[in-house]
Amino acid sequence: MFKRLLLKDLNHWLHRPNRKPLILRGARQVGKTTLVSLFAEQFDQFISLNLERQEDKALFEQNYTIQELVEAIFFLHSKDRQQPNTLLFIDEIQNSSAAVAMLRYFHENYPTLPVIAAGSLLESLLDRHISFPVGRVEYLRVHPLTFEEFLIALGEEPAAAMLNQIPLPIVAHDKLLKLFHRYALIGGMPEIVQQYAATHDLAQLRPIYDNLITAYLDDVEKYSPRDSQTPVIRHVIQTAFREAGNRITLAGFGQSHYGSKDVGEALQVLEKALLLHRCYPVTDTRLPLVPNLKKSPKLQLLDSGLVNYFSGLQADIFGSKDLNSIYGGRIIEHLVGQELLASQSSLLFQLHFWVREKNQSNAEVDFVVAYGNKVIPIEVKSGATGRLRSLHQFMDQAEHGFAVRLYAGKLEVEDAVTVEGKAFKLLNLPYYLGGKVEGYLEWFV
């Protein structure tokens, strides 16, 4: 097991006044159970229930009161009820709607007992009449490993520490860029990274990629609210890896005969399972960020490493000096999106990009983020800054003078001028700092 940065979030939750039971959300195989096991090392007692085991699930099916349930849990797991430093973990909670409903009573009757639950496909698998205990639970999103976590897993702690120095020491650039290329190739799925850290043999990763993707396909029946939707979801999963980073159209998605309604429902189910994310455009350069759901979204998948493997791009990445040259720049843009998503633990955070409102215009900025009272554009592109025409068009409309570019070069701030003559400050960040944009905006703006 290797360190996860989300341990900080778990410790903040643990020491928060009026703490509530915490539900970890994340796709299968992103490391939820391992994260809790690491967190549990600081407790004197750890009780781990897995509701895929019938004996654990049965505890919640007996119509116990909350007092009887807690007594039964401690007794059957041979734990001391009087030990205050105890963590209770309820894994695979989606297998019992009664367990989900019981979370509110842990909050109301046992507020000093830390309770964490985890599960996949929660909204998809629970009965429609069962809802989460609103106001009685908290949520935390668990994502694949970030670049920083990837470095820690590989034993590159000094390099990981460099990532958190703002501004980045120039001496660290070449090594971090080389390591980031390896991260771009492999991705952040914990089992993949663990195997690579142990062997440094890319060939040994192939069966793990295959097993992960096969497992997601095998879960289709669990995702599907009805049998007729199963083939649509299976098709969307298989197609989505090849469409990552693209703007998509629902009708006929992946050269199929499926209509927009069927594809839209399938995408919605897979979004609930946190396997993908639809990134919609905004057309304004001011807050609030209001996505235009009538315009076609970009498709963001769970992990760029899975995208590379499934799309046959690993060999291209292996020999590349600039990730922007691969797949029309879509892979590096997708990876930056993955890092931006992972930098925010809230389930409410959404990725957005910007398009010009005029229908005849194809101006498009890769990402926009809110910072203070500003909307900051982020372009993922190499080459001369004078070629950033979409970014220039955004800046001509913006009420401020700050923009960000992620590229293969070194950290620098430059004075730039749009085609229309507006002066602005451009922060050029190396690709590998995509997950640190928020900290750099504080330094920059």
Question: Residues 129-177: pLDDT tens digits?
Answer: 566 788 899 999 999 999 999 999 999 999 999 999 999 999 999 999 9
Q: What is the CATH number of domain 6-141?
A: 3.40.50.300
What's the average model confidence in pLDDT over 14-18?
A: 94
Rounded to 10°, the helix 304-311/230-243 angle is 90
CB contact at 8 A, 91 and 50: yes
220 has a pLDDT exceeding 90 = no
Tokens standing for residue 356:
């010009």
When pLDDT is averaged across residues 4-17 and rounded to a whole number, the result is: 96
Tell me: pLDDT of 369 over 80.
yes
pLDDT-above-90 percentage for the chain:
80
Domains in the chain: boundaries: 6-141
| pLDDT greater than 90 at residue 345 | no
Predicted local distance difference test score (pLDDT) of residue 33: 95
What pLDDT sits at residue 385?
64
Name the band, by pLDDT with cuts 50, 70 and 90, for residue 123.
low
Q: Is the pLDDT of residue 53 over 90?
A: yes
Confidence of residue 324 (pLDDT cuts 50, 70, 90): confident
- Give the pLDDT confidence score for residue 386 in this predicted structure: 60
- Cβ atoms < 10 Å from Cβ of 220: 20
Confidence of residue 128 (pLDDT cuts 50, 70, 90): low
- Mean pLDDT calculated for residue range 357-384: 87
Q: What percent of the chain has pLDDT over 70?
A: 94
Q: What's the confidence (pLDDT) of residue 315?
A: 73
